Amino acid sequence: MQAFFNKSNKQMRKLLFLLLLIVISFSSCKNETKDEKGNILVKVYDKNLYLEEVLDIIPEKLSPEDSLSFVQNYIDKWIKKQLKLRMAEKNLPQKEKNVQQQLEDYRSSLLIYRYEQYLIKQQMNTDISESDIQQYYQDHAKEFPLPEEVAIVLYMKFPKDLRDIYKVRNWYKSDNVDDFDLLNQYCVENAIEFHFGEEWVLLKNIFDKVPLNTINYESFLKNTKFYETTDSAFHYFVHFKEFRLKGQESPLQFIIENIKTVILNKRKLELIKRLENSMYDENIKSIEIYEQEK
Q: State pLDDT tens for residues 110-160.
A: 999 999 999 899 999 999 999 999 999 999 999 999 999 999 999 999 999
Q: What angle do CA 7, 13, 16 make, to 5 degrees?
A: 95
Asked whether the beta carbons of 48 and 60 are under 8 A apart, the reply is: no
Q: Name the helix (H) or strand (E) containing 241.
A: strand 234-244
Q: CA nearest 16: which of 52, 53, 64, 69?
A: 64
Output the pLDDT for position 186. Answer: 95
Percent of the chain with pLDDT over 90: 49
Q: How confident is the model at residue 167 (pLDDT cuts 50, 70, 90)?
A: very high
Work out the average pLDDT over 256-278: 93
Output the pLDDT for position 242. Answer: 94
Q: Judge whether residue 270 has pLDDT over 90.
A: yes
Work out the average pLDDT over 202-217: 86
Q: Which residues pair with 274 in a beta bridge?
A: none
Work out the average pLDDT over 86-114: 86
The whole-angstrom separation of Cα 246 and Cα 218 is 8
Q: Judge whether residue 178 has pLDDT over 80.
A: yes
Domain boundary assignment for the chain: 2-91, 146-244
33: Cβ contacts below 8 Å, ≥ 6 apart = 23, 27, 39, 40
* 18-32, 40-54, 108-122, 214-228: segment of lowest average pLDDT: 18-32
Distance of CA 270 to the CA centre of its chain: 25
The whole-angstrom separation of Cα 149 and Cα 200 is 10
Q: Which residue has the higher pLDDT, 80 or 94?
A: 80
Which architecture does CATH list for 146-244? Roll (3.10)
Output the pLDDT for position 89. Answer: 83
The whole-angstrom separation of Cα 279 and Cα 274 is 9
Q: Which residue has the higher pLDDT, 4 or 33?
A: 33
Q: Judge whether residue 30 has pLDDT over 50.
A: no
AA letter at 168: V
Q: Which residues pair with 22 in a beta bridge?
A: none
Q: Judge whether residue 58 has pLDDT over 60.
A: yes
Asked whether the beta carbons of 12 and 27 are under 8 A apart, the reply is: no
Q: How confident is the model at residue 12 (pLDDT cuts 50, 70, 90)?
A: low
The whole-angstrom separation of Cα 161 and Cα 234 is 8
Q: Judge whether residue 16 has pLDDT over 80.
A: no
Q: Judge whether residue 286 has pLDDT over 70.
A: yes
Q: CA nearest 183: which of 173, 153, 192?
A: 173
Q: CA nearest 150: which of 227, 217, 237?
A: 217
Work out the average pLDDT over 256-274: 94
For residue 114, count other CB atoms closer than 10 A to its CB. 10
Torsion of CA 29, 34, 36, 39, to 10 degrees: 110
Output the pLDDT for position 214. Answer: 73
From residue 118, alpha-carbon distances to 110, 114, 123 in Å are: 12, 6, 9
The whole-angstrom separation of Cα 142 and Cα 88 is 52
As a whole number, the mean pLDDT across the chain is: 85
Output the pLDDT for position 28. Answer: 45
Asked whether the beta carbons of 150 and 221 are under 8 A apart, the reply is: no
Output the pLDDT for position 4. Answer: 40
Work out the average pLDDT over 183-195: 94
Torsion of CA 156, 158, 162, 167, to 10 degrees: 0
| Residues written for the chain | 294
Q: What angle do CA 221, 224, 225 make, to 5 degrees?
A: 100
Output the pLDDT for position 2. Answer: 42
For residue 21, count other CB atoms closer than 10 A to its CB. 11
Q: Judge whether residue 266 has pLDDT over 90.
A: yes
Q: How confident is the model at residue 6 (pLDDT cuts 50, 70, 90)?
A: very low
The whole-angstrom separation of Cα 74 and Cα 156 is 61
Q: How confident is the model at residue 7 (pLDDT cuts 50, 70, 90)?
A: very low
